[in-house]
Amino acid sequence: MAPEYLTVSWDQLHRDARALAQRLGKLGPFSGIVAVSRGGLIPAGIVARSLGCRVIETVCVVTYEGETRGEPKITKFPSAAGDGTGFVIIDDLVDTGATARQVRALLPRARLATVYAKPAGKQLVDIFVAEVSQDTWILFPWDSEPDCVVPRPRSGHSC
The amino acid at residue 133 is: S
* Residue 45, SS3 per DSSP: helix
Among the options 11, 91, 143, 147, which is catalytic? 91
Among the options 11, 16, 83, 92, which is catalytic? 92
Q: Is 92 part of the annotated catalytic residue set?
A: yes
Helix ranges (H only) for the chain are: 10-25, 41-51, 98-106
Q: Is 95 part of the annotated catalytic residue set?
A: yes
Extended beta strands in 55-126, E state:
56-65, 68-76, 87-94, 111-117
Q: Is 143 part of the annotated catalytic residue set?
A: no
Among the options 11, 95, 126, 135, which is catalytic? 95
**Active-site residue numbers?**
91-92, 95
